[in-house]
Amino acid sequence: MDKYVIHGGKRLEGAVDISGAKNAAVAILPAVLLADSPCRIENLPDISDVKTLTYILEKMGAEVEYLDRHTVLIDPRPIATSGVCADEARSIRASYYLIGALLGRCQKAVVPLPGGCNFGVRPIDQHLKGFEALGCTHSLDSGGMISVKAEGDLRGANIYMDVVSVGATINIMLATVKARGLTIIENAAREPHVVDLANFLNMMGADILGAGTDTIKIHGVQKLRGADYSIIPDQIEAGTYMVAAAATGGDVTVRNVTPKHLESISAKLAEIGATIEEGDDSVRVYQKGPLRRCTVKTMPHPGFPTDMQPQITTLLSIVNGTSMVMESIWDNRFKYVDELRRMGAQITVDGKMAIVEGVGKLKGAPVKALDLRAGAAMVIAGLIAEGTTQVENIQYIERGYESIVDKLAGLGADIYFKREPDRDMAKLG
C-alpha cells in the first residue's frame, strides 16, 4: 500500500549523487563465492535486490557483515552447499548468477528458476547452452529448481551466443573462470557491468581478456583470492535523473558517473534538444530551447539501453510532434503505456513499437509501477504532470533506485513517501 505522492510542475535543479550499479552489484556478489578468502565490496547500492542477494548468501552459509550502508565484507569460506533454497531467490532475476558461481566453485548448482521484472518471456537457453559446452548436464524438477552439474572439472570451450545476452555472458564467465583451459565467448554482451565483473574477477586473480568487446577470452585459473572492489556508478539511475532533468526543463548535474557509459543517453537527449555538458565524473543536463520529437531504438550496449526506454518514452509524451520508440530487446515492455494514458498521454503501441503523439502536458493521476523502470517512468510522469500523482507498487522501484524520494526532493521535486495501512488490517483494527 506504500506510495509516492508527487505534486508535479517543479523544475529539477542542483546536483545528485549516483549510487553503485545494480546490475554490476548483482553479478559481483555471487562472484564472491569463487574466492578462497573474504571480499570487501564498496559502493554497493542500498536497494532491495542487493539486500535480497546478500541475505541469500548469508542463508547459504557465508559470513556477511555490512561495514556501512554501502560496504559489505563477505567471507564465502563457510559455505558448504551447492544449493540455493531460499524462497527469496525466486524474487530476483540475478539469482541465476548463483548457477555460474556455484559451478565455478564446486561444479554443481541447484537453484530456483529466476524471477524479476515481467516484460515477456525471459528464456535462459543461452546460459544452458554455454554450461553444456563446458561439459555440464542440467535438469528441471517439478518444484522449479534447476540443477546443473559437471562430472569432474568444467572444460573450457568456444561458445557462440545466438543472441547478445548480458545474463548468459556473465553466467558463463562465472562458470569458466576456474575451468580447465581456454573459453572464448563470441557475440558477448558489452555492457559496463560485464566489464565491471571481469575487472573484479581479474583482481581476484582471474585471467579474462576482451570484456567490453564482443569476444571474451577466459583462461581458467586454479584459485581466486578475495579482493577489495568498488562497484561502478549506475548507468540507468544516472540516465533516469538526466531524463527527469530534461522533462522538467531543469538544470541537473549527475555526479559520480562514468560519462562514457552515458553516451547513448546523452546523445539522444541532445537530439531531443537538451544541452549536455560532460565533466570528468559528472554530466550536466539543462535546456535552453524547446524539445524536439525523435526516434529511439533500444539496442545492446553501446546502443540506447532498453532499461531507459520507459523513461524516454515518458519524456517524449510531452514533446511536440510524433516520436517513435522501438523496443528491440524485450517482447512486452510497453505495458506501462496504459498508465501513462491515464495521465493524458497519447501513445499507440503496435507490437514492439510505440507511436507517441506529444501532448504538451500530462495530468496527475493514481498510477501503478508495473516493474522497476516502468515505475521510474511513472515518477518522471508525476514530476512533469499538472496536479497530484500517486505512484503505487513502489516496491518495484525500490528494487533498483536508492533513496529516490530524497534524491528528487534534494533537486526541488515536491515528492514524499506515504505509508497507508493495509485496507484489511484497517478494517480489523
User: Judged by CB under 6 A, which of 3, 127, 284, 407 binds ligand EPU?
Assistant: 127
Contact status, residue 229 vs residue 241, Cβ threshold 8 Å: no
- The site for ligand EPU, by CB under 6 A, has a size of 24
Minimal CA–CA distance to 364: which of 104, 3, 6? 6
Stretch that binds ligand EPU, among 1-9, 59-67, 81-89, 158-166 (CB under 6 A): 158-166
Within residues 278-307, the interface with ligand EPU by CB under 6 A covers 306-307
Least distance (Å) between residue 399 CB and ligand EPU: 8
Within residues 56-85, the interface with ligand EPU by CB under 6 A covers none
Q: Which residue has the cell 562458470?
A: 175
Q: How far apart are CA 173 and CA 160, in angstroms?
A: 13
Least distance (Å) between residue 12 CB and ligand EPU: 22
Within residues 4-23, the interface with ligand EPU by CB under 6 A covers 23
Q: Which residue has the cell 550536466?
A: 284
Stretch that binds ligand EPU, among 72-80, 123-131, 379-387, 409-417 (CB under 6 A): 123-131
Q: How far apart are CA 294 and CA 292, in angstroms?
A: 7
Number of Cα atoms under 13 Å in the Cβ half of residue 361: 7
Nearer to ligand EPU, 92 or 319 (CB): 92
Nearer to ligand EPU, 307 or 402 (CB): 307
Residues identified as active-site: 117
Residues 86-105, one symbol each (x = binds ligand EPU by CB under 6 A, - = not), give -------xx-----------
Q: At what angle do helices 235-247 and 263-272 cross, to 10 degrees?
A: 10
Stretch that binds ligand EPU, among 65-73, 125-133, 245-253, 389-397 (CB under 6 A): 125-133
User: Judged by CB under 6 A, which of 166, 204, 318, 337 binds ligand EPU?
Assistant: 166
Residues 307-336, one symbol each (x = binds ligand EPU by CB under 6 A, - = not), give x---------------------xx------
User: Judged by CB under 6 A, which of 124, 243, 247, 257 binds ligand EPU?
Assistant: 124
User: Judged by CB under 6 A, which of 165, 314, 317, 390 binds ligand EPU?
Assistant: 165
Nearer to ligand EPU, 134 or 166 (CB): 166
Stretch that binds ligand EPU, among 8-16, 32-40, 119-127, 216-224 (CB under 6 A): 119-127
Within residues 178-217, the interface with ligand EPU by CB under 6 A covers 189
Stretch that binds ligand EPU, among 70-78, 144-152, 160-168, 197-205 (CB under 6 A): 160-168
123 makes contact with ligand EPU (CB under 6 A): yes
Least distance (Å) between residue 193 CB and ligand EPU: 6
Residues 368-387, one symbol each (x = binds ligand EPU by CB under 6 A, - = not), give ----xx--------------
Residues of this chain that interact with ligand EPU (CB under 6 A) are 23, 26, 93-94, 117, 122-127, 163, 165-168, 189, 306-307, 329-330, 372-373, 400
